[in-house]
Amino acid sequence: MQVRSYILFVILGSALVTFIPRVLPLMFLSKVEIPEWGEKWLNQIPVAVMSALLAQELLITNHKVFVFDNVIKLIAALPTFIVAVKTKNLLITVVVGILSMMLLRFIY
């Protein structure tokens, strides 16, 4: 199999564009002393992002907030959330979420 030079450049460029935004902040922040309040603030970012993603998926339909259109998703989210809090295991949480949705769609 022959690789054309422009395809190789696209692959290398894509790798570079993916690599740089991940490495530069790491290199910069490894040399900077972050104050305790800054670390506490940064620790909240994953929770905030996940909350925004979940709220969008569970509550918004066609760019409008509809709680009653997403009842099945909300019901499936309850056992998934409980398992996530109790186990803190991503694989088990995903499996419970998938099984909950599968069961609810089978019933309704």
To which residue do tokens 């422009």 refer?
A: 6
Tell me the range of 24-28, 44-48, 59-63, 89-93 where mean pLDDT is highest: 89-93
Residue 1 — very low, low, confident or very high, per pLDDT cuts 50/70/90?
low
Domains of the chain, by residue range, sit at 1-32, 35-107
12 by DSSP, 3-state: which? helix
DSSP string across 46-61: HHHHHHHHHHHHHHEE
User: What whole-number distance in Å separates Cα of residue 9 and Cα of residue 38?
Assistant: 39
The pTM of the full predicted model, rounded to 2 decimals, is 0.57
Element (H, E) at 85: helix 71-87
- Average pLDDT in the 2-25 region? 91
To which residue do tokens 């910069």 refer?
A: 28
Q: Can you give the pLDDT at residue 101?
A: 95
Query: Which has the higher per-residue pLDDT, 63 or 25?
Result: 25
